Amino acid sequence: MVEEELDGEPWFHDIKEYIRMGVYPIQATGDQKRTIQRLASGFFFSGGVLYKRTPDLGLLRCIDATQATAVMTEVHSGVCGTHMSGYVLAKKILRAGYYWLTMKRDCITFVRKCHQFMEI
């Protein structure tokens, strides 16, 4: 359900490498370097895992497309509760401690494709 990364790397790869080693991607332009630097200030790297900082000083684990699909499936129709709308699903995933950039859009798309949600 979540769009896979085109280059085979997770969406947070450039941010993670910048925080870990202070290097930019080889093909990055000046604007892209500034964007990576700006984005990196909102993330935290610990134990090989990248986390997004929240305003209340919490940390959300950054996950890739494969993990995001599994989390959406489990939260939407698994033990975490009943079927819900896309916005509620995104908020519940945030409360569970996960994050990816296109979370809201992906959750709305995921719920629209859910056959049990369509029957309600």
- For the segment 60-99, what is each residue's pLDDT rounded down to a tens digit? 999 998 999 999 988 887 765 677 888 999 999 999 999 9
pLDDT per position as a tens digit, 18-66: 999 999 999 999 999 999 999 999 999 999 999 999 998 899 999 998 9
Tokens representing 93 are 């995933």
Give the whole-angstrom CA distance, residue 14 versus residue 33.
10
Coil, strand or helix: which one is 117?
Answer: helix
Residue 1, pLDDT score:
47
Residue 2, pLDDT score:
56
Give the whole-angstrom CA distance, residue 4 versus residue 63.
12
Give the whole-angstrom CA distance, residue 58 versus residue 71.
19
The pLDDT of residue 115 is above 70: no
Local structure of residue 3 (DSSP, 8 states): P
